[in-house]
Each structure stands twice: as C-alpha cells, then as structure tokens.
Amino acid sequence: MNTKYIAKDKCLILEITEEIDHHTTENIRRKADYEIENYIPKKVIFDFNKVTFMDSAGIGMLLGRYKNIRMLGGTTELVNVKSSIKKILEMCGILKIIPIREECA
C-alpha cells in the first residue's frame, strides 16, 4: 500500500495496491492504522485504482477504518472504484456511510 499525506488539507490518501481478501486485510489494516495514527488526518481517501477483487474481509477492514477515522473527527472517501467492487459496496450498504468520489484530489 502506498500513502500520500497532504499537510495543507490534512488529507491522507491510501492507495491499495493489492486484492483485498482474508489473506491481505490484516496487513492493509495494520498499515492504514499506523498512517492514520501517525498523521491524524481530517480526511482519509482510499484509492482503489489497483484493486481488482474484494471480499467480505475487505468490507470489514473498511468499516473498521471508517469507525477509527470518525472517532478522530475525520471523514472517509473512496476513489477509483471499479464497477465490480462498487456492486459489492452497494450490496452491503457501505456506500450509505462512505461516499465514492470520481477522482482523487
């Protein structure tokens, strides 16, 4: 996972560079939590540009990060979500709390 922090906007961009499944979520979760605790951003953007697959473990990982960020007073957004992933997010209802933006700032 690649990260980029924009200090001016207090925005943390987390570019996920692998499939999100039960084999990879713990590693993604650990890295995301470290970056969130390090920067304490006002906005966290998950960039799904390189994600081709996500299962229910990925949904749990996103919800957990959403809750952590919200407790810190921040917001969460998703960008570059492929249509197959978007369908999964719509079915589970996660898009009701985490919006998808068309492109990353």
The structural domains of the chain, with segments of one domain joined by +, span 2-101
Question: What sections of 1-105 are H helices per DSSP?
Answer: 25-39, 56-71, 83-92
Is 8 strand, coil or helix? coil
pLDDT tens per residue across span 21-47: 999 999 999 999 999 999 999 999 999
Which residue from 49, 31, 47 is spatially nearest to 39, judged by alpha carbons?
31
Determine the pLDDT at residue 105: 53
- Cα(104)–Cα(26) distance, rounded to whole angstroms? 25
pTM here is: 0.92
> Could you tell me if residue 40 is left (phi over 0), alpha (psi between -120 and 50 degrees) or otherwise beta?
left
Is 60 within 8 Å of 82 (Cβ atoms)?
no
Mean pLDDT value of segment 88-101: 96
The listed CATH number (3.30.750.24, 1.10.357.10, 1.10.1050.10, 3.60.20.40) that belongs to domain 2-101 = 3.30.750.24
pLDDT digits (tens, 9 = 90+) for 43-78: 999 999 999 999 999 999 999 999 999 999 999 999
Element (H, E) at 77: strand 75-79
